[in-house]
With several copies, the nearest count.
Chain A
């Protein structure tokens, strides 16, 4: 049996839900349904949608690959300056996306910190699809790290210690104990990262530009469309929203809550 929640809590919860959901209703009410078909199937929109899905998925994978180790190191080790590192890793959260894009340019752009090195290697990242992925990863990574670190701390270390006394090497512990135990946290972190990457716009435009099929993601397309056709832009965002709901819904469908022995 679940312990439930105090009855009065439902009021603010409903208020919060309404605050988030009403604007969505308002948008849906504005969508020019008759034009929607043409709009969505236009080549530009299709390209943008596909590009968005591809890049966001890639960024999410990158976020998991880089973020899980970062969260694990932050939650499970201690080293001098850890607090500073933790705060710094949070920074892309705060940086206005456009500035984030500039920062990326200053780093990986032609005239950036690593630009020359990369140039010598024949790698040109700026204004390519890779740049889109990098921009999205840059803004989305902290979400995964922060929420996963919280989950790791909440889960505690007891089971990991037990696993170690049973002879499991740290890698085995990570794979067979830590990650399964924080799976809900990892999933919600990944969902956050994916959502943030999918909606990312400012850093992308600045760092990757906006070229149809290469770097123009759906949010960029929406932004551009908005200059001339507000309703169209709204309709297109609805597509983005529906796609996001589908992807997130599929990803978290099997998220059965894990419990300790009761």
Chain B
């Protein structure tokens, strides 16, 4: 199944064009309210776009005769688990197969299999009202998967799950999504990297970036993708050996890939580890020095992540203590040009 979706939804400020190849898994990233769930809604047929068209393979789903949700063979795992309150977990999961015409017994067997996949076998007989948040989410995942759709739409499947089941479930999803056309909304870089072939980044209802998952997360072009990937980004124009932002920041770096000309829009991307923190500007070296104010300190593995607005630096706990860092401290973020990756925006 190849999904082609072009849609505008004026009430939600959405205007996107998206393609998911047969068997491909696309991760949809973007800030809250970017329009991710809306895109899934349009694909599932729950929301009629103002303009645009949706095709699955070459079958047009919109147009004169709108194909209703149930005839699309898509399954949507919505942000809210929305398990049917009057059915047991087992019957919730069996709902998809039964709707596809499978007999009760066979559907239940299949449902039991899916419940086992999400480690929820012992919840089979419970009503949704008797499940914890994470348990309900797992059953909802099983229900969506059990429908064995041609197009699978998952809205934050890992939400509410505890750290102990997440890796196993990610494994399960990876296996299940193999060869199945899927769009998965996530806020987690691991989901994007492990589950998706491609990443599409939405912001304010528009696609701001897309490409192979590893590439987008290694060399993001949009601030949000950089954020998800845990990278610092300064975007502006390439001029005189540095990327200069509108706000007056200049980050020197080494352009990679196609040559940049003076004035080209470009981004400078660097890892928090590559940032050194000083109380006063280090003298005379050819480094980039960005005066910032610390907004937050948080532990990050063995280190301390020093946040200053949208930039972050990782320093050792020892260094942090020595610099006497605290929110509000004015400091200099300094980055060696060799650590800064510069490429066109």
Contacts and interface: CB of A to CB of B under 8 A. Distances in A.
Whether chain B is bound by chain A comes out as yes
Interface of A: 1, 3-4, 158-159, 161-170, 172-173, 176-177, 180-181, 183, 258-262
Interface of B: 44-48, 68-71, 73-76, 78, 80-87, 95-96, 98-100, 128-129, 131, 136, 143-144, 147, 149, 153
Contacts of A181: 84-86
Given A165-B76, A262-B129, A1 B46 contact: yes
A258 B74 contact: no
Nearest to A181: B86
B129 A176 contact: no
The 4 closest A-B pairs by CB, nearest first: A164-B69, A168-B99, A165-B76, A166-B96
A227 to B, nearest CB: 51
Residue among B84, B96, B131 with the highest chain A CB neighbour number at 10 A = B84
Nearest to A256: B86
B74 A165 contact: yes
Nearest to A4: B68
Contact of B136 (A1, A161, A261): A261
Residue among A166, A173, A261 with the highest chain B CB neighbour number at 10 A = A166
B70 A169 contact: yes
B176 to A, nearest CB: 16
Contacts of A259: 85, 129
A1 B45 contact: yes
A252 B98 CA distance: 29
A258 B75 contact: no
A85 B37 CA distance: 36
12 contacts: A1-B45, A1-B46, A159-B82, A162-B76, A165-B46, A166-B95, A166-B144, A169-B71, A180-B86, A183-B86, A258-B86, A260-B129
B95 A163 contact: yes
A163 B96 CA distance: 8
B86 A172 contact: no
A262 B96 CA distance: 21
A176 B83 CA distance: 13
B75 A166 contact: yes
Contacts of A1: 45-48
Contacts of A262: 129
Nearest to B153: A165
Nearest to A164: B69
Contacts of A180: 84, 86-87
Nearest to B76: A165
A258 B78 CA distance: 20
Given A166-B70, A167-B73, 17 more contacts: A1-B47, A159-B84, A159-B85, A163-B84, A164-B46, A164-B69, A165-B44, A166-B95, A167-B99, A167-B149, A168-B70, A168-B99, A172-B99, A180-B84, A180-B86, A180-B87, A261-B129
A180 B74 CA distance: 24
Nearest to A261: B128
Contacts of B82: 158-159, 162
